[in-house]
Amino acid sequence: MAKQLKTNAMDKKGKGISDAEVISPSTNEAPLEDAISIANAGSSLAQKEQRKYQAIARVQGELIADSQELFIVTYGDGTQFPVAGIRPGKLSLKLVALLPEERKGLFSFWPRDDDGIVIASFCQPENYIQQVFGPRLDEMLLSGKIKSCHSDKFVVHIKRNKDRGRGSRWFKGMSITVSSTPPSTLQSGQWVDLKLQRNGSQWVLPDSSEH
């Protein structure tokens, strides 16, 4: 199992996302407003300076190996998220040290363009404490600019935050698809801070969202 755990949060082709690229260094997650926020085009300079690109989600499930590939399999619906990497540091050692049946709990992760994920954190249920600014179970926090809008979905573009100096310079950005009808007020280039809900492997606006 140890050989199967990929300890780099990014591959040599530059497809991964590190914490320095989309997350402010509070812990593993960055602050997001309590409700879904769609920034106005006339927002102030101070608001713009506070903006941080991010995309981080949390699910509950187990880490399994299948045909020399790693997956997080969620409880309830059995959705599989292919694991492309693990956050650099002690997390990979922590996972290796656990027995297979102990690799069950809450995983936070960063998405990738190719539908893979990079594991950002792991916690067993009995030790889990909800972070004030972190994603809740089956939730993704997404902050970025609208790339395009369609009848049944819209696309948000994220890129490396300029003040994250230790981030990889090759990272040019990636796009996250929100599988919900976009609010009529959304326009390309507009900044959004979103709290999304998981629907299988897709991410959608909450049913209670007001547009």
Q: Classify residue 37: in a domain, yes or no.
A: yes
Q: What per-residue confidence (pLDDT) applies to 47?
A: 58
pLDDT at position 60 over 70: yes
Q: How many domains does the chain have?
A: 1
Distance of CA 14 to the CA centre of its chain: 17
Mean pLDDT of 25-38: 37
Question: What does the pLDDT look like over 166-180, one tens digit per residue?
Answer: 545 556 789 999 999
pLDDT at position 28 over 70: no
Q: Classify residue 137: in a domain, yes or no.
A: yes
Neighbours of 104 (CB within 10 A): 18
Q: Classify residue 1: in a domain, yes or no.
A: no
Q: Which residue has the higher pLDDT, 3 or 62?
A: 62
Q: Classify residue 2: in a domain, yes or no.
A: no
Are the C-beta atoms of 83 and 71 separated by less than 8 Å?
A: yes
Q: How far, in Å, are 9, 70, 92, 168, 210 from residue 1 at the CA level?
A: 18, 10, 11, 28, 45
Closest CA relative to residue 15, chosen from 104, 92, 82: 82
Question: What does the pLDDT look like over 125-164, one tens digit per residue?
Answer: 888 888 888 999 999 999 999 999 999 999 999 998 876 5
Closest CA relative to residue 122, chosen from 3, 4, 5: 5
pLDDT at position 192 over 70: yes
Q: Classify residue 7: in a domain, yes or no.
A: no
Average pLDDT over the chain, rounded to an integer: 78
Helices (H), 80-193: 91-97
Residue 146 pairs in a beta bridge with 156
Separation of alpha carbons 10 and 169, rounded Å: 12
Mean pLDDT of 3-20: 38
Question: What does the pLDDT look like over 98-110, one tens digit per residue?
Answer: 999 999 999 999 9
Tokens of 132: 């004030």
Confidence band, pLDDT 50/70/90 cuts, at residue 4: very low
Q: What per-residue confidence (pLDDT) applies to 158?
A: 94
Tokens of 54: 């991010």
Tokens of 24: 């402010």
Q: What per-residue confidence (pLDDT) applies to 169?
A: 52
C-alpha dihedral (24, 28, 34, 40), degrees to nearest 10: 30
Separation of alpha carbons 183 and 161, rounded Å: 26
Tokens of 158: 């994220």
Q: Classify residue 104: in a domain, yes or no.
A: yes
Q: Classify residue 108: in a domain, yes or no.
A: yes
Write the DSSP assignment of 3-51 as a string of letters: TTS---SS-TTS----HHHH--TTSSS----SS-EE--TT--HHHHHH-
Domain that holds residue 196: 19-204
Closest CA relative to residue 173, chosen from 149, 155, 151: 155
Q: What per-residue confidence (pLDDT) applies to 7?
A: 39
Are the C-beta atoms of 154 and 148 separated by less than 8 Å?
A: yes
Q: Which residue has the higher pLDDT, 78 or 30?
A: 78
- Highest mean pLDDT, choosing among 37-51, 65-79, 156-170: 65-79
Q: Classify residue 210: in a domain, yes or no.
A: no
pLDDT at position 36 over 60: no
Q: What per-residue confidence (pLDDT) applies to 51?
A: 87
Mean pLDDT of 62-71: 92
